[in-house]
A and B are shown apart, each in its own frame.
Chain A
Amino acid sequence: MQLGNLIWKELWQRPTSLLTSLAAVALGVTALVAIQSITVFSEEKIAGDMRSLGANVLVLPPGVTLQDYYSADMHGQTMPEEYVTQLALARMSGVENLAPKLCVAAEVDSISVTLTGILPRSEFEAKTAWQGMSFLSNPVGTDRGCCAKPVTDTSGESDPTSLATQRTVQDLGKDELILGADIAVQLGAAVGDELTLLGDTFHVLTVLPPTGTIDDGRLFAHLHSVQRLSNSGPVVNVIEIMACCEDAAGGLITDLSRELPNTRIITIAQVVEAQIAVNGLMSRLSWVFFGILLLVAGASIASVMYANVAERRREIGTLMALGATPGYVTKMFLGKATILGIAGGGLGFVAGTILAMVLGPQLVGVSVLPMPSLCGVGIATATLIAVAASYLPARRAAALDPCLCFNDG
């Protein structure tokens, strides 16, 4: 029999106090794990929603009314293309991607179409590199380290179909054309076909997968080809910006307005702000709950331990008479607290995870998976609290008079 066996056997002698302490510790960890899990997965959902939405900030010519977020480039008004370079060079925190567009009306085989000019990333990367900004190796904005998790994954942009999800492509030739899913069906066009637009011949580079947006009915060509063919000069209708959701809700809009005062900046800030605020509040509240509940747990453990010391006075006195040092007695109580902390933390993690998995879909519509990192935090903190709460009772036990072992002690 060793100290561990002694502690373990004693724990099961008083199951009521054991369960009370365990429940108190587990409750604190349950609250933390449940709320944090829901918050983290909710944030991931927002990031996913932002990805599916595409751009979350639009730079428009002044006076344009936003009727529909997806058709914000169909107003006919323009602004200088140099704004794009200006934004790229400003290297604002939170700007992940820029997608300037110019929309013009055109016809293909007597079918009216909307031709949208887009600027491949290779163009403004070359431009900024030429101006000494070394953007060739850094995606726009991300060199500032603003995003905990990038809103866009630009690794797949060499694939032209990335335009459907990431709003930009890496390369696009001056005579190449990208077709939306619906217009490709309407025109009966496929990859490699030739189409005549505004008097020029274009090759179909790819057909985009359906997106459920207005882009399904559009044709995309190089911005400079569209500018040349439409005689509109170096202008654009809109600059779409993919921004980190936190920044889109924060100071980015102010920075953009300062950089481009003669434009109108439109964002889904209200939506983002609300969701970020709720998540932030939940995250902070979970730590407050955790702290309060752990303090309650600590008080409960301290009370149970003091009662335990009082109940076991003669037993402790006898152990000391038999040769148990004060250090050994202290270890008996702190060992017990450690077991309570680990078990309570572990139980709390399991209960919190199950609670989050049940409540997550119902409360905020997110699926929640177990987060092992919270298991470590929960167990470590619970153990720390349990040991700290047991320290004074353990000291009291170690300071007991061994003469208590005698009959009149």
Chain B
Amino acid sequence: MFQLNNVTKAYECRGQTVNALNKTSLSIGDNEFIAVVGPSGSGKTTMLSLLGGMMAPTSGEVLFHGESLYDMSLVERTKLRLRSLGFVFQSFNLVSWLSAIENVQVPLSLAGESASAQQERASELLSRVGLSDRLNHLPSELSQGQQQRVALARTLANDPRIILADEPTGNLDPESREQVMNLLSEFHSEGRSVVMVTHDQFAAQHAHRSLSLVDGTIVDTPLATNAA
């Protein structure tokens, strides 16, 4: 599904060049659940941005279903994200002035769904994540775990085949963490691919494959070692 070929991403900072990714090659197949681990600043988020079509590599290529992501136009990449990719963020990134159901409606609205179809689908998804009684609550009226579940419902709105998650349990208490990881596992069991950047060993244990990022280089890490 995803293929990274000799990808380098370099940043210029105060006259110095920092390589977040250094000639990295990686293959991600269909229906994989991958945990990307590594210390802060190791390039985990950079890799997620590259996979999400939001940051062009300095060199190398990123292929999605055999097609070069960064040879597409900006609008084409945006539409691909809308149709095929779902994002989960550490800080949930809900729009603070929209209710739970309206937040879930956002991707549906961007996809041009009718108001009634948006309502129906968003209610269904919020019920699925156990928030049918919180449809009209603002994010500030929800706990952090509930906010992340709203964000998960939003991720599923356009039924994406790939979910890119950036520290999805980073801000959660143990109970919410478990709920969120169970939901992500459920999404994976439905045939979706999940690529999750995390520091959380508990979260990483839910993955079926683990990758470590060290000094801009990706290496496959045995799950047993990772879990230990």
Contacts and interface: CB of A to CB of B under 8 A. Distances in A.
Given A326-B74, A407-B170, A3 B109 contact: yes
A405 B166 CA distance: 10
Nearest to A326: B74
A1 B45 contact: no
Contacts of A324: 78, 110
B79 A325 contact: yes
Interface string A1-19: 1110010011001000000
B106 A407 contact: no
Contacts of A320: 54, 78
Given A1-B105, A321-B81, A325-B78, A406 B89 contact: yes
Contacts of A405: 87, 89, 93
B89 A1 contact: no
B110 A328 contact: yes
Interface stretch (B60-68, B95-103, B125-133): B95-103
Contacts of B55: 401, 403
A328 B82 CA distance: 13
A255 to B, nearest CB: 67
B106 A1 contact: yes
Interface in B49-88: 49, 52, 54-55, 74-75, 78-79, 81-83, 87
Q: Which residue, B89, B111, B158, B167, has most C-beta atoms of chain A within 10 A?
A: B89
B118 interface: yes
Interface residues of A, number: 28
Contacts of A318: 87, 89, 93, 95
B186 to A, nearest CB: 21
Nearest to B106: A322
Nearest to B89: A405
Contacts of A2: 109, 115
A139 B54 CA distance: 76
A9 B48 CA distance: 31
Interface in A321-371: 321-328
A327 B154 CA distance: 22
B81 A322 contact: yes
B91 interface: yes
A403 B49 contact: yes
Nearest to B111: A323
A296 interface: no
A315 B89 CA distance: 12
B145 interface: no
B90 interface: yes
28 contacts: A1-B98, A1-B109, A1-B115, A1-B118, A2-B109, A3-B109, A6-B98, A9-B98, A9-B102, A314-B93, A315-B93, A318-B87, A319-B106, A320-B78, A321-B54, A322-B87, A323-B79, A324-B78, A328-B110, A401-B54, A401-B55, A403-B54, A405-B87, A405-B89, A406-B45, A406-B48, A406-B90, A407-B90
Given A401-B55, A407-B91, A407-B170, 5 more contacts: A1-B102, A1-B109, A10-B97, A13-B97, A315-B93
